[in-house]
Structure 1
Amino acid sequence: MGTTTKLRFVRKTMWELLQITILRTNSKIVGIILLENFFSRTAHVK
C-alpha cells in the first residue's frame, strides 16, 4: 500500500514538472516569434 502511494506521488510530481517545462518552452518560443514579428514590422516601416 505504502509503495503504490509513493509511486503515484512521484508520477504526479514528474508529470507536473514536465508540464511546467513544456509551458516555459512554449512561452519562450511564442516570445521569440512575437519579437521577430515586431522587429520585422518596425524595420519595414523605416
Structure 2
Amino acid sequence: IINYNPKRTRFRKQHRGRMKGISYRGNHICFGKFALQALEP
C-alpha cells in the first residue's frame, strides 16, 4: 500500500522506480501467493 500524498516522507527513496510488481529483493513476494523469481542475474 503506497500513499501517493504522504505527509511524512521518511523512506521515500526505497519505493522509487522499484514497485513494478516484480520481486526485487531476494525472493520477496510483492502480491498474491505466486511470484516470479529470476534464476540468473
Same fold (TM over 0.5): no
Asked which structure has the greater CA Rg, the reply is 1
Larger RCO of the pair (alpha carbons < 8 Å, separation 6+): 2
TM-score with structure 2 length normalisation? 0.19
**Structure 1 or 2: larger helix share?**
1
